[in-house]
Amino acid sequence: MIKDLGWKVGGAQGEGIDSTQDIFALSLFRLGYYVSTYRHFMSLIKGGHTNGKVRITSEITGHHGDDLHILLAFDQETINHNFHELIDGGVLIYDTAIKDATVPENDKVNICPVPLTEIAKEAGSPIMKNMVSMGVTAAIIGLTPDDFRSVVVDKFGGKGDEIVDSNIAAIQKGFDFAKENFSATIELPARPELKSERLYISGNDAVSLGAIAGGCRLLAQYPITPATEVMYQIIKQFPQVGGTVVQAEDEIAAVMMSIGANYTGVRSMTATSGPGLSLMMEALGLAGISETPLVIIDVQRSGPSTGLPTKTEQSDLYTMMYGSHGEIPRIVLTPRNVEECFFFTMEAFNLAEKYQCPVIVATDLYMGMNKQTVASIDFDKFKINRGKLISDEQLAELEKGAFKRFDVTPEDGVSFRSIPGQKNGRFVAMGNEHDEVGVEMEEPELRVKQMDKRAKKLVNFNDVAGATYVGAENAELLLVDFGSMTGPQREVYEELAAEGVSVGHLSIARLLPFPTEEIKGYINNAKKVLVTEMNSTGQLKNQLKQFINGDHNKFESCLKYSGDPFLVNEIYAKAKALADSLKKEVTL
């Protein structure tokens, strides 16, 4: 088991919960700890309960943790909704400004009432109660007020020394109060040795940076939670590298702008979530038949329709794999951690141009909006590949009008692409079926040739590994997942392996082309296959059944679709029960 410390702050939306969480997490990150965060919030501008959790560990994880050691409550709702999560020996810190505060009876939790608002007023402003709470927390976990100084300076330095000093003073007052009034302590995990640079970013941050590093210079997007942060981050970064962000009037316009920009040779993408992806289905077909590169980021959330817009889910899998009309080749990548959000997005631009087809990068709210420690990114791993761009010299050798943009003769199905403005490289890109030079046609023989040409593109695809496996050879119990489920499921795998269970962990990184050959051996060798995913129908499990021949009765689902992310213990309970059932079979 990973030794960790779970800390959570809660209050009314608009009360500074996000910034309080970020100050605490960033301070611990700068001290060298690994941190993983989770934000629970409602789809309201202001009001309603919100909270933010931080997990502090000595090693990298992909989960915000099950256990809660310290709960910091700014209102009664926070106590009502979260107190039950505190472990024995945990600490509840609450603001005595909460009128008639009610704390559940529990003699195993340390109760620390603190006049957070009153102390903050003494320090200069009641809004600094979050800083007072940092001081109280520091006293309980063995830190000093000075450990928060660098973050305070970075956040408030632009407002002047007086503001910085008053915030530092608020932290000190909270620290002094806790030292004088409480004896409760919680031990931090061992501080890891800092061997290399690390980052503290979210999946959305990583997608944005990956897009820029991959050469994206136009983002056309309509705002939608939880993908809006992608646009905000790129707006911040584009001035350093050049590029344009267009806030389109809707998702249809956004994806069409992206197709248009890619047609002209500018690497472009759009980012959205489920409802927006649905609106892009016709354009997806246009990119496919016109063989125009296209990158779409889908940060999944709970559906259908508006559903739970600020909650997480993995229920767009079918839409990403099969949405749109007709048949087109497409690539669907599923990053399993924040680092892969960066690298897969970078690589998506290469793949879109190499295969001249749509590429969808599938993340979700859980990974997209929550920050965590990430190993330093090695930019040398990536090289830009523009694919089959025809040169001016090659075009000059052709007779006028002889350029075949949709040439059907290449064995890989990918023909040369020209950029508008290249002499003798003119062609028409349209949604209608066409001949080799782009002229609309309906002749059956030519139609079949164009369909067959496009279908050949991904037959031998091996640019991105389809899955990763760890575990025993011929494991009896196989754990399978994709996307953000890999983090918590890896912890389950490690716990079961430590108990001596014959277990393996297979995490899918690519949904299309489906990695059948890569994974069928692991599936067929296992006695039980547990597929963990955040939807109600087992969409990944159903794809495994479709693509993998063999005994389909061995598949079991571990599903969650409440809007809340999985706890590790929820997956462990299901996996442990399956492991025990296999043991009984052997005994009988």
- Residues 172-178, mean pLDDT to the nearest whole number: 98
The pLDDT value recorded for residue 378 is 82
The pLDDT value recorded for residue 447 is 98
Predicted confidence (pLDDT) per residue in 61-114, tens digit: 999 999 999 999 999 999 999 999 999 999 999 999 999 999 999 999 999 999
Answer yes or no: same fold for 4-181 and 467-586: no
- Residues 558-563, mean pLDDT to the nearest whole number: 98
**% pLDDT > 70, the chain:** 99
The pLDDT value recorded for residue 588 is 58
- Mean pLDDT, the chain, whole residue set: 96
- pLDDT tops 80 at residue 10: yes
Half-sphere exposure of 454 (CA within 13 A, CB side): 27
Predicted confidence (pLDDT) per residue in 14-39, tens digit: 888 999 999 999 999 999 999 999 99
Q: How far apart are CA 93 and CA 116, in angstroms?
A: 9
Better-scored residue on pLDDT, 584 or 126: 126
Which of 146-160, 191-205, 565-579 is predicted with the least confidence, judged by mean pLDDT?
191-205
Q: Is 173 exposed, middle or buried (0-12, 13-18, 19+ CB in 10 A)?
A: buried
The superfamily (CATH) of domain 4-181 is: Pyruvate-ferredoxin oxidoreductase, PFOR, domain III (3.40.920.10)
What is the model's pTM?
0.96
Contact predicate 129/167, CB 8 Å: no
User: Could you tell me which residues come within 8 angstroms of residue 370 by beta carbon, excluding any fewer than 6 positions away?
Assistant: 36, 37, 38, 39, 64, 202, 203
The pLDDT value recorded for residue 137 is 98
Nearest to 573 by CA among 524, 522, 540, 530: 530
Q: Give the phi and the psi of residue 361 in degrees, each rounded to 5.
A: -105, 115
Q: Is 451 exposed, middle or buried (0-12, 13-18, 19+ CB in 10 A)?
A: middle
Nearest to 166 by CA among 120, 122, 121, 123: 123
- pLDDT tops 80 at residue 587: no
What is the architecture of the domain spanning 467-586? 3-Layer(aba) Sandwich (3.40)
The pLDDT value recorded for residue 130 is 96
- Residues 340-366, mean pLDDT to the nearest whole number: 98
Report CA-CA distances (Å) from 297 to 63, 104, 245, 465, 489.
22, 44, 15, 19, 24
Q: Where are the domains of the chain?
A: 4-181, 200-375, 467-586
Q: Give the phi and the psi of residue 186 in degrees, each rounded to 5.
A: -130, 130
CATH topology of domain 200-375: Rossmann fold (3.40.50)
The pLDDT value recorded for residue 194 is 79
Q: Are strands 510-512 and 331-333 parallel, antiparallel or unpaired?
A: antiparallel
Question: Band of the pLDDT at 584, cuts 50, 70, 90?
Answer: confident
Predicted confidence (pLDDT) per residue in 242-288, tens digit: 999 999 999 999 999 999 999 999 999 999 999 999 999 999 999 99
Better-scored residue on pLDDT, 142 or 47: 142
- pLDDT tops 90 at residue 299: yes
Predicted confidence (pLDDT) per residue in 498-527, tens digit: 999 999 999 999 999 999 999 999 999 999
Q: Are strands 218-221 and 268-272 parallel, antiparallel or unpaired?
A: parallel
The pLDDT value recorded for residue 48 is 86
DSSP strands (E only) in 383-502: 467-471, 477-482
**% pLDDT > 90, the chain:** 94
Q: How far apart are CA 19 and CA 22, in angstroms?
A: 5
The pLDDT value recorded for residue 1 is 63
CA 158, chain centre distance (Å): 31
The pLDDT value recorded for residue 579 is 97
- pLDDT tops 80 at residue 448: yes
The pLDDT value recorded for residue 2 is 67
Q: Which one-letter DSSP state was computed for residue 302?
A: B
Fill in the amino acid letter for 307.
G
DSSP result, 57-88: ESS--SS--S-EEEEEESSHHHHHHHGGGEEE
Question: Band of the pLDDT at 586, cuts 50, 70, 90?
Answer: low
